[in-house]
Structure 1
Amino acid sequence: MTDAERVLLDLLNIERLEVDLFRGIGSGGETPTRIFGGQVIAQALAAAYRTVEDRLCHSLHAYFIRPGDPSIPVIYQVDRARDGGSFTTRRVVAIQHGKQILNMSASFHKQDNGWDHQHPIPNVDGPEHHPSRDDLRQKYLGRVPDKLKSEFLRERPIEVREVDPLDLFTPSKADDKNYLWFRMGAANDADTITQHLLLAYASDMGLLTSGMRPHGLNWFTGEIDGASLDHAIWFHAPVKFQNWHLYSMESPWTGQGRSFNRGSIFSQDGKLVASVAQEGLLRRRRLR
């Protein structure tokens, strides 16, 4: 297990303060200046799971209200909205500095039987055909200011391989279809709930970028004022995140300073594991 993987697993191991009150670490995720959105979602889901027995999350819907401050912990307050015969519902509020930074509703389902169908996995080359995130970043290291190089090369817990990566600093306009493979080797010993938490964390990776591709933009061009506004996940099948998964993403619409993006997550053998939808802020950076 790498140090970065250990840090992520520690982030997901939230502390119980009271019956329905929990505390999570703020620092250590994908981004240093504000808490990574997937981290807050995963910790909020972890808090909800601590109040549920014998049921798995089938969907969650979250709104990002304020940027998270990585210098302090996050408090998660769980409301036990309903415990029904087949479904359990929880509401979670994430709090920092006495203010809400995220609201989330999550629903948990007693496993049931029914009809089955799914869309097939897209026909793209496997992960072995694409460079790792570390290899890609080494390629651009000479164009990164010295003061940012350590953060640029910092080890991350999720292994990522983009199918059609654009130039980090001068991206060309491209189709909104966006694919990446991802996994985390240390998930090999993780239980079912932790697998859900890891996938929830990773589901915020690359999604908003889909709406930037048709405009020749990304996070490194310096033109964007962007952030996730809301995020929804539907879990369909068991997750084994130690194995490669394909994240197939697209952006059907961008406008009015916002971008709508959706994604499907498949296991490498073609099983649709989860579906994701997100709207994000995507506007020109304002001069201050």
Structure 2
Amino acid sequence: MNNTKELIALLNLDKLDNHTFSGTSVTIGSAIVFGGQVLAQAINAAYRTVPENRFLHSLHSYFLEAGDLTLPIQYKVDEMRNGGSFSTRRVTASQNQKTIFILAASFHKKEKGFEHQTQMESNLKQPEELLSWVDMVDKFGAVLPKSIKSFLSIKRPVDFKPVEVKNPLKPENKKPIEHIWFKLKGEIPEMDTALKHQILTYISDYNVLNAAFNPNGKEYSFANTMTASLDHSMWFFRDFDFNDWMLFSAESPNTFGARGLVKGNIFTREGKLVASFSQEGLMRPINK
């Protein structure tokens, strides 16, 4: 999967009946299904059961079991409520009759109201000043650890350019923050709000736990720690498009008890806040 067209095809589920849908999986380098894919496919299913004039404003989800890349995933949507302004859906994802993921999503009709937003940091390097993951492999591939080179070399529909670049050969403790510019690859078609939300949800599960690792980067990394997404929440605000770079801005307020919490915001390059997110992940040191 190397471009936006292929990503859209992955997220567009097959309809089995009015409330049941089926999807396939594509690896991003791990042996199990990528959590962002399940999130986005579940949103695809939920959107197909709500009125056209209602749009996703929040989601809350739990990852219960690792997904099998070789099996289809079935998404069952329950209509929990259809009110005057809001519609609520519950989505259950399963493989072989085993539930692997649950989602609660709320949809709201467009309304006018008060407005304010937090500001994007103004002193960050711009994407043109930074190396993408592909650039890093091209420039440093000969000295990168094999596992990191392999991960960075996976074909993806998204380009990532980290602002704070870590040296894997000289690990150090850093602030619990992470800033990454991202942009879709290939031709970007016209998108409705539902598709934008699905794609942004897919991307939001990349890079999340990095901020939680940073304060202990000298001792711990993805190489010596068992990691997994435990839950994921998002809130959607303003409209946007994918024609320019966008910023993933994350911070980790806490790691404790083999879990790390990360929260943050997603901005357009101009600084418009389009979404916020939070995730707690398993961060269990591997005892060798």
TM-score range, shorter chain: over 0.9
1:78 aligns with: 77
Cα deviation 1:159-201 (Å, max 9, x = unaligned): 1110011123543211111100112144442222111111000
Deviation, 1:105, is: 0.2
1:114 matched to 2:116? The reply is no
Cα deviation 1:93-136 (Å, max 9, x = unaligned): 00012111110000000000100001111121211111111012
Unaligned runs of 5+ residues in structure 2 are none
Q: Is the 8 A contact 1:187 1:195 kept in 2?
A: no
2:135 aligns with: 135
Tell me, in whole angstroms, the C-alpha distance in 2 between the residues paired with 1:264 and 1:160. Answer: 16
The alpha-carbon distance between structure 1 residues 262 and 269, as it changes in their structure 2 partners (threshold 3 A), is same
Equivalence map 1:200-219=2 (5 Å): 200-216=201-217
Tell me, in whole angstroms, the C-alpha distance in 2 between the residues paired with 1:224 and 1:184. Answer: 30
Equivalence map 1:189-268=2 (5 Å): 189-216=190-217, 222-268=223-269
Q: Is the 8 A contact 1:140 1:168 kept in 2?
A: no
CA-atom RMSD, angstroms? 2.1
Q: Is the 8 A contact 1:263 1:277 kept in 2?
A: yes
Deviation, 1:7, is: 2.6
Tell me, in whole angstroms, the C-alpha distance in 1 between the residues paired with 2:218 and 2:95. Answer: 31
**1:200 alignment partner, SS class:** helix
Deviation, 1:73, is: 1.1
**1:42 alignment partner, SS class:** helix
Tell me, in whole angstroms, the C-alpha distance in 1 between the residues paired with 2:46 and 2:244. Answer: 26
Tell me, in whole angstroms, the C-alpha distance in 2 between the residues paired with 1:23 and 1:75. Answer: 4
Query: What amino acid does structure 2 have at the position aligned with 1:176?
Result: P
Tell me, in whole angstroms, the C-alpha distance in 1 between the residues paired with 2:218 and 2:79. Answer: 42
Tell me, in whole angstroms, the C-alpha distance in 2 between the residues paired with 1:252 and 1:130. Answer: 26
**1:237 alignment partner, SS class:** coil
1:56 matched to 2:72? The reply is no
Higher mean C-alpha deviation, range 168-177 or range 88-97: 168-177
1:155 matched to 2:151? The reply is no
Q: Is the 8 A contact 1:5 1:156 kept in 2?
A: no
The alpha-carbon distance between structure 1 residues 148 and 14, as it changes in their structure 2 partners (threshold 3 A), is same
Q: Is the 8 A contact 1:207 1:263 kept in 2?
A: no
1:41 aligns with: 39
Query: What amino acid does structure 2 have at the position aligned with 1:106?
Result: A
Deviation, 1:206, is: 1.0
Higher mean C-alpha deviation, range 153-162 or range 228-237: 153-162
Normalised to the residue count of structure 2, the TM-score between the two structures is 0.92
Normalised to the residue count of structure 1, the TM-score between the two structures is 0.92
Query: What amino acid does structure 1 have at the position aligned with 2:115?
Result: D
Deviation, 1:246, is: 0.9
**2:227 alignment partner, SS class:** strand
Tell me, in whole angstroms, the C-alpha distance in 1 between the residues paired with 2:108 and 2:219. Answer: 38
**2:142 alignment partner, SS class:** helix
Query: What amino acid does structure 1 have at the position aligned with 2:194?
Result: I
Identity %: 38
Q: Is the 8 A contact 2:145 2:168 kept in 1?
A: no
The alpha-carbon distance between structure 1 residues 75 and 176, as it changes in their structure 2 partners (threshold 3 A), is same
1:30 matched to 2:28? The reply is yes
Give aligned pairs, total. 285
The alpha-carbon distance between structure 1 residues 100 and 272, as it changes in their structure 2 partners (threshold 3 A), is same
**2:8 alignment partner, SS class:** helix
The alpha-carbon distance between structure 1 residues 172 and 267, as it changes in their structure 2 partners (threshold 3 A), is same
